[in-house]
Structure 1
Amino acid sequence: MTTAETATRSVVVERELPFPPEKIWRALTQPHLIAEWLMKNEFKPETGHRFRLEADWGSIDCVVRTVEPDRALSYTWDAHDLRSVVTWTLTPVESGTHLRMEQTGFKSDQPRFYGGAKAGWPQFIDKLEAVLERLD
């Protein structure tokens, strides 16, 4: 196998949000809030917890990998032939929080998944911001 065949691509979305990390963490880890901006789920912020994200078009199998409250969260994101990992990083800044979402693991022969993630994540994060604006 050549390096090109094994190389993977990532989708990264970064935003400065005017909310404290604790508030964003709630929206990233509470199932009813996740359902508002991402998909229906049975998420629990526990390492090793298996959950499924459900949408009209199908589902995504996930396993929680990293849980660092108010700082970092990661989980696998497996759908069809895609084996990837989504990582959220929350960094406090003067204006609130620097939010970074990275989904890694897109193979070069998976342009549809890569394109879908590149188009989809900014929209999901727009919805996340709307949820955060409504939260106390």
Structure 2
Amino acid sequence: MPGHDDESLRSLLRRVERIAVVGWSPKPDRPSHGVAAFLRRQGYQVIAVNPGQAGQAALGGVVRASLAEVMEKDGPIDMVDIFRRSEEAGGVVDQAIAIGAKGVWMQLGVIDEKAAARAEAAGLWAVMNRCPAIEVPRLGL
């Protein structure tokens, strides 16, 4: 699957500007919260997606209920960072395809080969079982 070697990952992360974090938690001890905050500190525009927190302020913006709402209110998304269980990742990938995101990033432990294949068939790039908060410093970005 493309996008897993260091040069591909480095290139992807350099092109990304706007990231939707699906499964973001307002709890500071949760990985989704820490990763989103890290990515924002790195200069990415990060939009939290969590239907239970929709409308709340977070990450310099407003938490959105869905990727469709992000697209409607914030505009196009470069990367959808998925903090959901593997069995729920496919639905998020399908939503990412529907809104025309450029790529999907499934977090550590999130693996759905069929969803990644659907994303790539639709022209999106797909990364699985990795964390951008690990990859950014590792790759010297």
Q: Higher Cα Rg: structure 1 or 2? A: 1
Q: Name the TM tier (shorter chain).
A: 0.3 to 0.5
If asked which structure has higher relative contact order (CA below 8 Å, sep 6+), I would say 1
TM-score (norm 2): 0.31
Of Structure 1 and Structure 2, the greater strand share is in: 1
